[in-house]
């Protein structure tokens, strides 16, 4: 798929020229001055972090961290369920399979071909106690 040529807004072009000029006169590992970062932050707030980072050839994540309100909230893992209720279906089930996985990655598969389900609490308790 061909890339689209998107014309950058004039303020981004001007800052891009400043950044290019600064990079041409400083060693490769030099840090950008705060004045350039501040201008990049201002433009990122106006035109978007991606557009500014791309036009200025800045690290997207670094710029996003510096832009107030642009950093997403840290993702947290959902808490594992502490209680699971199994509701018996109204119709007769003659063949059923349940698979369980513990927080440590141990797996258990229960398959039965009867109308009466196993004693779940005893089965799961024994499995949990047998885990290393």
Q: What is the pLDDT of residues 55-101, one digit of tens each?
A: 999 999 999 999 988 766 566 777 777 777 767 666 666 777 878 78
54/20 same-domain check:
yes
Asked whether residue 3 is domain-assigned, the answer is no
Asked whether residue 98 is domain-assigned, the answer is yes
Please check the confidence at residue 112 and state whether its pLDDT lies above 80: no
Report pLDDT for 107: 83
86/60 same-domain check:
no
Q: How many CB atoms lie within 10 A of CB 124?
A: 16
Report pLDDT for 35: 93
82/132 same-domain check:
yes
The CA distance from 106 to 109, in Å, is 10
Report pLDDT for 89: 66
Number of domains observed in the structure of the chain? 2
Asked whether residue 22 is domain-assigned, the answer is yes
Asked whether residue 2 is domain-assigned, the answer is no
59/86 same-domain check:
no
Please check the confidence at residue 50 and state whether its pLDDT lies above 80: yes
The chain-wide mean pLDDT, for the chain, equals: 81
Report pLDDT for 132: 64
Asked whether residue 106 is domain-assigned, the answer is yes
Structural domain boundaries enclosing 83: 77-132
Q: Which range is least confidently modeled, 6-10, 11-15, 20-24?
A: 6-10
Token duo for residue 67? 């832009």
28/62 same-domain check:
yes
57/82 same-domain check:
no
Asked whether residue 71 is domain-assigned, the answer is no
What average pLDDT does range 106-115 have in this prediction? 79
Asked whether residue 5 is domain-assigned, the answer is no
- To the question of pTM greater than 0.75 for the whole model, the response is no
Asked whether residue 1 is domain-assigned, the answer is no
Q: Which residues face 109 on adjacent strands?
A: 99
Please check the confidence at residue 47 and state whether its pLDDT lies above 80: yes
Rg (CA), the chain: 29
- 8 Å CB contact between 15 and 39: yes
19/61 same-domain check:
yes
Report pLDDT for 54: 92
120/81 same-domain check:
yes
């Amino acid at each position: 798929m061909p890339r689209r040529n998107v014309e950058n807004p004039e303020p981004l072009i001007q800052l891009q020229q400043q950044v290019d000029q600064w990079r041409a006169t400083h060693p490769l590992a030099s840090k950008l001055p705060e004045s350039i970062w501040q201008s990049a932050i201002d433009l990122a707030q106006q035109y978007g972090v991606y557009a500014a980072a791309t036009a200025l050839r800045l690290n997207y994540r670094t710029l996003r961290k510096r832009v107030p309100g642009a950093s997403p909230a840290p993702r947290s893992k959902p808490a594992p369920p502490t209680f699971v209720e199994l509701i018996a279906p109204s119709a007769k089930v003659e063949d059923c399979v349940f698979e369980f996985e513990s927080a440590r990655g141990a797996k258990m598969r229960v398959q039965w071909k009867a109308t009466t389900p196993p004693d779940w609490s005893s089965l799961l308790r024994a499995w949990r106690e047998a885990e290393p």
